[in-house]
Structure 1
Amino acid sequence: MKLLFSENELLPQYDENLIGIDEAGRGALAGPMMMAACKLNKKIDGLCDSKKLSEKKREELYEIIIQNSNYLILAFSSEQIDTLGLSACLKTGLMLIKRHFKTHSHFLYDGNTNFGINGIKTLVKADAKILQVSAASILAKVGKDRVMNFLAKEFPCYEFEKNKAYGTKTHRELIAKFGTCKLHRKSFKLL
């Protein structure tokens, strides 16, 4: 069941009962996928899609968000993604998020499917349109980047601190040269 916001439906920019949800690392070739949910305690200026912000600005906003919200950040490992599948991980994440927050809240997930979880609405590009989803986007992205920066120290040959495990040309060349490591998703076609 999909609960989509229509393009004509008016969406509030700030709603104290709205939980925004987004993920980062969904298409990465290695490392975890992070999901975040965020209920803001106040309106925060400067929020937008994490991909449109500099790393420095994301880090600054991350600190402001965690001090001014009720939030949850989840991580699904490469092994979980390979074993369960990406969709099952996303569905599990949505279920866990829904359980974490009070029932009188309502939920908005960035994308076009709620993976059959009742009560979660979806909106494509919500991370660029809705503050709470923008905040969740930033939490997930900073969380993912921090993990990849840490893992880069253990696996320096893959330059995770630069590519964050996405399928860049350089990352693919490094996989061709060194093979995969235990962090790479075996269920993804890497080359």
Structure 2
Amino acid sequence: MFAISLGDDGAELRPLEPRHAEAYLAHIDRSRAYIGRYIALPDFATDLPSATAFLQSYADKAATDSGRLYGIWQGPELVGGVLFRTFDAASGTCEAGCWLEEAAAGRGLVTRAMRLLIDWAVDERGIHRVEWIAASANTASINVAKRLGMVRDGVLRESYLYRGVRHDMEVWSVLAPQWRELRDSGRFEPPAAQR
């Protein structure tokens, strides 16, 4: 198993696999309402069998090279995760996403983890376009896209029906040449005109 340090605070990025179902379910249970404000992730892990099935679905995606799932661990405790919800190396596109417990928010964990994933996707796998799709009201997620230097492509008005409410969804993206330029310059915040 591998673990990649996310900095000097002891946080690590590690694979999140079916064998972690108990830790994953405990993590979701600790922050079910917070995580579920804008995404249905907690709905897919209501008990151990459903948590295992969700993690297995991403193990299957990894096996077919169509998605990936990683946990953000603080010591022995899972506190969040990042993923490629979709991954199409042949067309050079993927959709990235994240979630985090409320207690772990505000420390840059997701941004640091996503930088590692985007580096891998662009440099190792030849991905040209990384997308980020988030509810307009999900400021924390939108702020991650901004910190990653992504550009807002547009808004899909009332396109996502979630818990009886229609949400506007924002589509953000970064292209490989833009990513390399931002990374190499050390500047990840976009110019004010793109915010």
TM bucket, shorter chain: under 0.3
- Please, what TM-score do these two structures have when normalized by structure 2? 0.23
Between 1 and 2, higher relative CO (CA 8 Å, sep ≥ 6) is seen in 1
**Bigger strand share:** 2
- Please, what TM-score do these two structures have when normalized by structure 1? 0.24
